């Protein structure tokens, strides 16, 4: 029988069978660890994207609500004609629009904008308002009204403000035909 280096190596491998298996087990554990690290990074990125998506959707909802309120305010100012007056202080402003058939009032107090039609109750139009200002805007040949407001920015993550700074300015010109 030929006993060469090859046959001696094969006989050594057959005597210590756990050596190859231990190496493969270690290798498998390393691969499993790498997979867990990659999955962890992937899940972290996915949850960050989900959080950003939620903040973006909330900001978009706030913008849509504000635009609807602004268009309603513009329609009320146009219907009131030149019969509008402003009263109040910096903490609370009330804009009285004496239009036909019912007067409409807008009030800003404690971070909320309210609307009242006629003698009815105040209805919440916008909340989470940081700043609100109703101003008469006199131009050369026309008098207009300007409504400026800033919403509280949505917070994301660890109390970090989002990227959107929600500032709005609405202009409305009353109809001249509504003059008494």
Q: Which residues of the chain have pLDDT under 70?
A: 1-23, 90, 100, 155-164, 176-180
Domain ranges of the chain: 37-178
pLDDT at position 14: 56
pLDDT at position 25: 82
Q: Report DSSP letters for 111-167, one per residue.
A: TEEEEEETTS--EEEE-SEEEEEEEEEE-SS-EEEEEEEEEPPPEETTTEE-S---E
pLDDT at position 179: 42
pLDDT at position 178: 42
pLDDT at position 81: 77
pLDDT tens for 47-70 read 999 988 888 888 889 899 999 999
């Amino acid at each position: 029988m030929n006993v060469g280096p090859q046959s001696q190596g094969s006989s050594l491998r057959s005597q210590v069978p756990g050596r190859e298996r231990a190496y493969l087990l270690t290798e498998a554990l390393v691969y499993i660890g790498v997979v867990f690290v990659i999955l962890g990074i992937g899940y972290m990125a996915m949850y960050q994207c989900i959080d950003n998506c939620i903040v973006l959707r909330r900001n978009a909802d706030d913008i849509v609500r504000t635009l609807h309120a602004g268009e309603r305010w513009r329609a009320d100012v146009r219907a009131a004609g030149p019969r509008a007056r402003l009263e109040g202080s910096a903490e609370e402003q009330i804009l009285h629009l004496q239009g036909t058939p019912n007067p409409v009032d807008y009030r800003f107090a404690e971070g909320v904008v309210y609307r009242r039609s006629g003698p009815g109750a105040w209805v919440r139009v916008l909340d989470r308002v940081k700043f609100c200002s109703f101003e008469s805007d006199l131009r050369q040949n026309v008098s207009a009204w300007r409504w400026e407001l800033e919403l509280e920015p949505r917070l994301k993550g660890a109390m970090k403000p989002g990227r959107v700074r929600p500032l709005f300015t609405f202009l409305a010109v009353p109809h001249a035909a509504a003059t008494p």
